[in-house]
């Protein structure tokens, strides 16, 4: 989607409410088009038309399509991190697996632009970096929760588990959303079983 030399920094930071609304509108419409035709087939002109603005106006907010992709991806990460942090704090550790797997699966499948953008994560350095940032943010939250419920675990094993759980389940869920719904539902059930079994192993002193 991009290369290491492309600037993906938004041209202006929205401060006023009207500017924030305009940026949110651009991202919303861009995500819709990405879902419909894919990122590579989407032009800046198409995003401008869908957003009911001139191409020149669009460029005042974003220098290129890659910057829009990154901005949408950042909103995805923020939404998911907020939910994960809240669920970890107020849900039983075994129940939280089902809650989070269901949430992530629904988000991956239905959030506008998600599948189109993140299917190309390896092609865009900025997305790879964002993906790793999300992993380590999630791992720190998981690590704090595991420390509460499994105090017998060593720091090393607990941290490794905190990396493994979100990465393995997330990778399998991204696969699940590419499958027909019946197959995906069956795979999601197995993902839950895998994660619960791993938690039971961790619980054993």
Closest CA to 150 of 197, 204, 110: 204
Q: How far is CA 97 from CA 146, 161, 178, 204, in A?
A: 13, 14, 21, 18
* Domains of the chain as residue ranges with CATH: 17-63 (1.10.10.60), 67-203 (1.10.357.10)
Digit-coded pLDDT (tens) for 121-172: 877 888 999 999 999 999 999 999 999 999 999 999 999 999 999 999 999 9
pLDDT of 19-64, one tens digit each?
789 999 999 999 999 999 999 999 999 999 999 999 999 999 999 9
Task: Decide: helix, strand or coil at residue 75.
Answer: helix
Q: What values do phi and psi take at 64, rounded to 5?
A: -170, 175
């Amino acid at each position: 989607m991009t290369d290491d030399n492309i600037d993906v920094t938004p041209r202006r930071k929205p401060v006023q409410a009207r500017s924030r609304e305009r940026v949110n509108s651009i991202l919303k419409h861009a995500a819709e088009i990405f879902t419909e035709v894919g990122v590579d087939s989407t032009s800046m002109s198409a995003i401008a038309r869908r957003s009911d603005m001139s191409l020149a106006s669009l460029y005042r907010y974003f220098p290129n399509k890659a910057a829009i992709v990154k901005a949408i991806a950042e909103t995805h990460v923020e939404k998911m991190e907020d939910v994960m942090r809240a669920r970890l704090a107020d849900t039983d550790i075994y129940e939280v697996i089902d809650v989070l797997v269901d949430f992530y699966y629904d988000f991956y499948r239905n959030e506008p632009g998600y599948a189109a953008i993140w299917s190309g994560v390896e092609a865009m350095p900025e997305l790879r970096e964002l993906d790793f940032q999300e992993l380590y943010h999630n791992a720190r939250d998981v690590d704090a929760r595991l420390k509460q419920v499994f105090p017998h675990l060593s720091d090393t094993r607990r941290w490794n588990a905190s990396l493994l759980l979100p990465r393995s389940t997330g990778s399998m869920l991204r696969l699940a959303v590419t499958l027909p719904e019946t197959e995906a539902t069956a795979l999601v059930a197995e993902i839950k079983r895998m994660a619960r079994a791993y938690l039971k192993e961790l619980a054993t002193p």
